């Protein structure tokens, strides 16, 4: 029993271990179990399909290549004739202009890359291996039968699967589909996201700051991250610490979006009404994670919409977005094969940490003199130091049980390439 005047210490963000906190892996598992990919399909022109998620397999209506052709500038001939000392040149085959005739014994045809292989020929000798005197050629030794010939259907047979559903379409995919003569594709609709910031201290850019007020950088950060993630979104602005306004904004956001995101208002302060409102109008699955930065993360539902309540500190917003929101958006989008890239690198600096929480420190990943990957810290790792994210190009992920790292230790890094 506690003495009557003793203040009981409650769990806080400063604690390294709190048994009530959900692990990062546990949170990701619960999110994945909750998220169902969208199924609505749109048909878009090929030029508008970049970065969209393919809704159905693409099958080739033709063979690729659709004719047997030369892979080199050179001479098309019969391999059996290379035993002869010289061959007669009987014409030229150009790309897009078929040679009308066939190659007989002792004959050859000058051929350009991509040109249809003439009837009778089975081998192409590159021009660098040929000596030509008028219409007679002599061929260097060391040739192989069938060399430098691309056969019809070699890349893709008619009816073969060119691309699988669930793939984010890249520039190479667009080119592949264009080579099939296909001009439009079925894609999944983009998930809709609505987001807002919450707090009486927040001001929008262009407004003067009074003592104790700050500019709302989180909405701009979210705008950038959501743009890079390929979803559609609406910025609902800054909502003050007013229960009725927060509730009405939640209803508005849920009516237009698959996912609702807030920044700030996810902690336990007296004026943080987000969790209180969510308890009334939605379902809160969890709201504390054993991680640093980003402990006060909440996740749940408002009707049919998913909800993510991100912390208010700028770095915490970015860390929790990339570790939890982005995987959810990828899954919701139907991008089934996506996983964050994680590598191993050698630490060049001492990385401070106490066991109890998974930490996502900010680092600079590079190649050392030997070519091996090395990572250095960006310096101070406070959750309000946004410059640590701006200077970084990776997260350094230190597991819950880790007590930090010494120079030379191997650590896990997650590059920002394709994310930030």
Work out the angle between the directed axes of helices 243-256 and 274-281 (0-180°, nearest 10).
Answer: 60
Using DSSP's 3-state secondary structure scheme, residue 80 falls into: helix
Q: What is the pLDDT of residues 184-222, one digit of tens each?
A: 999 999 999 999 998 888 888 888 999 988 888 899 999
Q: What is the pLDDT of residues 240-267, one digit of tens each?
A: 889 999 999 999 999 999 999 999 754 4
Contact between 121 and 101 (Cβ < 8 Å): no
- Model pLDDT, residue 264: 78
359, burial (CB in 10 Å: exposed 0-12, middle 13-18, buried 19+): buried
Q: What is the DSSP string of 303-363?
A: TTEEEEEE-SSHHHHHHHIIIIIHHHHHHHHT-TT-----EEEEESS-B---TTSEEEEEE
Tokens of 35: 């998220």
> Does the pLDDT at position 306 exceed 90?
yes
Contact between 275 and 266 (Cβ < 8 Å): yes
- Model pLDDT, residue 287: 78
> Does the pLDDT at position 270 exceed 80?
no
4, burial (CB in 10 Å: exposed 0-12, middle 13-18, buried 19+): exposed
Domains of the chain with bracketed CATH: 24-39+189-333 (3.40.980.10), 44-63+158-188 (3.90.105.10), 69-150 (2.170.190.11), 343-415 (2.40.340.10)
Q: Quickly state the pLDDT bin for 273 (edges 50, 70, 90).
A: confident
Q: How far is CA 383 from CA 2, 140, 415, in A?
A: 34, 69, 19
Chain center to CA of 62: 31
- Model pLDDT, residue 248: 96
Task: Out of 120-124, 272-276, 283-287, 338-342, give the one with best mean pLDDT.
Answer: 120-124
Q: What is the pLDDT of residues 108-124, one digit of tens each?
A: 999 999 999 999 999 99
84, burial (CB in 10 Å: exposed 0-12, middle 13-18, buried 19+): middle
The Cβ-side half-sphere exposure at 29, using a 13 Å CA radius, reads 5
> Does the pLDDT at position 17 exceed 60?
no
Contact between 15 and 289 (Cβ < 8 Å): no
Average pLDDT over residues 28-44: 96
pTM above 0.75, yes or no: yes
Q: Quickly state the pLDDT bin for 80 (edges 50, 70, 90).
A: very high
List CB contacts of 209: < 8 A, sequence separation 6 or more.
203, 215
What does the mean pLDDT of the chain come to? 91
393, burial (CB in 10 Å: exposed 0-12, middle 13-18, buried 19+): middle
Torsional class of 120: left (φ above 0), alpha (ψ -120 to 50), beta (otherwise) = left
Q: What is the pLDDT of residues 146-175, one digit of tens each?
A: 999 999 999 999 999 999 999 999 999 999
Percent of the chain with pLDDT over 90: 77
């Amino acid at each position: 029993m506690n003495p009557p005047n003793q203040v009981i210490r409650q769990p806080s963000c400063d604690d390294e271990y709190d048994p009530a906190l959900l692990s990062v892996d546990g949170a990701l598992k619960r999110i994945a179990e909750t998220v169902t990919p969208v199924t609505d399909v749109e048909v878009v022109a090929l030029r508008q399909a970049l970065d969209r998620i393919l809704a159905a397999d693409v099958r080739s209506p033709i063979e690729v290549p659709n004719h047997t052709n030369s892979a080199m500038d050179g001479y098309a001939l019969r391999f059996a004739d290379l035993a002869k000392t010289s061959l007669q040149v009987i014409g030229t085959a150009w790309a897009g202009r078929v040679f009308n005739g066939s190659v007989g014994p002792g004959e050859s045809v000058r051929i350009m890359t991509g040109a249809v292989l003439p009837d009778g020929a089975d081998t192409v000798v590159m021009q660098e291996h040929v000596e030509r005197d008028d219409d007679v050629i002599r061929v260097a030794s060391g040739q192989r039968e069938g060399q430098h010939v691309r056969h019809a259907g070699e890349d893709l047979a008619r009816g073969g699967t060119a691309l699988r559903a669930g793939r984010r379409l890249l520039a190479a995919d667009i080119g592949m589909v264009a080579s099939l003569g296909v001009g439009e594709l079925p894609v999944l609709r983009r998930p809709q996201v609505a987001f807002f910031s919450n707090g009486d201290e927040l001001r929008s850019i262009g407004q003067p700051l009074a003592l104790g007020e700050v500019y709302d950088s989180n909405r701009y950060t979210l705008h950038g991250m959501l743009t890079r993630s390929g979803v559609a979104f609406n910025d609902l602005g800054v909502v003050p610490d007013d229960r009725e306004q927060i509730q009405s904004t939640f209803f508005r956001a849920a009516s237009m979006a698959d996912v609702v995101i807030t920044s700030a208002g996810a902690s336990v302060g007296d004026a943080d009404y987000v969790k209180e409102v969510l308890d009334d109008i939605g379902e809160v699955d969890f709201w504390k994670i054993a991680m640093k930065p980003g402990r006060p993360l909440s996740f749940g539902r408002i009707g049919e919409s998913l909800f993510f309540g991100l912390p208010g500190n700028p770095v915490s917003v970015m860390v929790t977005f990339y570790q939890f929101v982005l995987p959810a958006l990828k899954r919701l989008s139907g991008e089934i094969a996506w996983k964050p890239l994680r590598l191993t690198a050698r630490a060049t600096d001492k990385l401070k940490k106490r066991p109890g929480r998974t930490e996502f420190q900010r680092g600079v990943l590079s190649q050392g003199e030997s070519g091996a990957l090395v990572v250095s810290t960006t310096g101070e790792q406070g959750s309000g130091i946004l410059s640590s994210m701006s200077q970084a190009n990776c997260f350094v992920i230190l597991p819950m049980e880790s007590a930090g790292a010494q120079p030379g230790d191997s650590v896990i890094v997650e590059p920002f390439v394709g994310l930030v």
